[in-house]
Amino acid sequence: MNQSTAETKMQFLYALRSNGVTNRQVLSAMESVDRTLFVRGVFADRSHEDIPLPIDCGQTISQPSIVGLMTQALHVEPRHKVLEIGTGTGYQAAILSKLARRVYTIDRHHRLVHEARKILTKINLDNITAIHGDGSLGLPEQAPFDRIIVTAAAEDPPSPLLDQLRVGGIMVLPVGRSSTVQDLIQVHKTDEGLKYNELLSVRFVPLLEGIDEGR
Ligand code: SAH
């Protein structure tokens, strides 16, 4: 690794830590997945900055510290089966795959799923299955999930996802009526019902119904 690569990496990890990503497993998962691979074109040069960036299909790759905080709030363990809604570039799925046994990720854009599969295969992350579909319906054939993460904002947690979360499981997602400010929440499913924690204010693209057929 040359000097500037090492320095860029240190700055990336420093930005994560100073924004509250302190869990060692999460930091080392994020250190091991190069975000540059997931960002294309003119923005690739800025892939190590702690900022969201535009991707294909008018979508966004999240700010790394938000990826870290969401991953940290999920408390993923090595035996877990995780569902992600909103594959986008596949970056968040790649981080999860370092921490979990198996990751299923769904996006409504065929093109994003196709591109994400290519990158994930190239870097040998073979415990991820990327699926083209409407993630608000979840993935009933693989339920229940130990953990569910949604990387697009809905007004309320979609009920199929709550149904597909195992008792004892955790779901992390942005919710809100406005497209400008949403709350990131953590939902614990317990024997006594659902418990909600508000984590921070965030801004995500909306969770839309149905799939996009465009290739
Ligand atoms: N996690 C991604 C970023 C997600 S951006 C990454 O790491 O790069 C949000 C994504 O949610 C977009 O790609 C969008 O297409 C997807 N999305 C929105 N509504 C959806 C739905 N109902 N089902 C599946 N994906 C959806």
pLDDT tens digits in sequence order for the chain, 215 residues long: 555 788 999 999 999 999 999 999 999 999 999 999 999 888 989 999 999 999 999 999 999 999 999 999 999 999 999 999 999 999 999 999 999 999 999 999 999 999 999 999 999 999 999 999 999 999 999 999 999 999 999 999 999 999 999 999 999 999 998 778 899 999 999 999 999 999 999 999 999 989 987 65
Task: Give the Å distance between the CA of 191 and the centre of ligand 1.
Answer: 30
**What does the pLDDT read at residue 16?**
98
Task: Respond yes or no: is residue 136 known to be catalytic.
Answer: no
**What does the pLDDT read at residue 178?**
79
Nearest CA residue ID for atom 11, ligand 1: 86
Core vs surface per residue 76-109: b (16+ CB within 10 A) or e: beeebbbbbbbbbbbbbbbbbbbbbebbbbbbbb
Most ligand 1 atoms within 8 A of CB, residue of 30, 74, 83, 85 to mutate: 85
**What does the pLDDT read at residue 10?**
92
Catalytic residue among 4, 28, 62, 159: 62
Task: Give the Å distance between the CA of 36 and the centre of ligand 1.
Answer: 19
Residues 6+ apart with CB under 8 A from 88: 55, 59, 60, 61, 62, 107, 112, 116, 151
Do you find a cis peptide bond into 52, omega within 30 degrees of 0? no
**What does the pLDDT read at residue 40?**
84
Q: Which residues line ligand 1 (CB under 6 A)?
A: 59-62, 85-86, 88-89, 91-92, 106-109, 112, 134-136, 151-152, 205, 207-208
**What does the pLDDT read at residue 54?**
93
**What does the pLDDT read at residue 5?**
83
Q: 186 by DSSP, 3-state: which?
A: strand
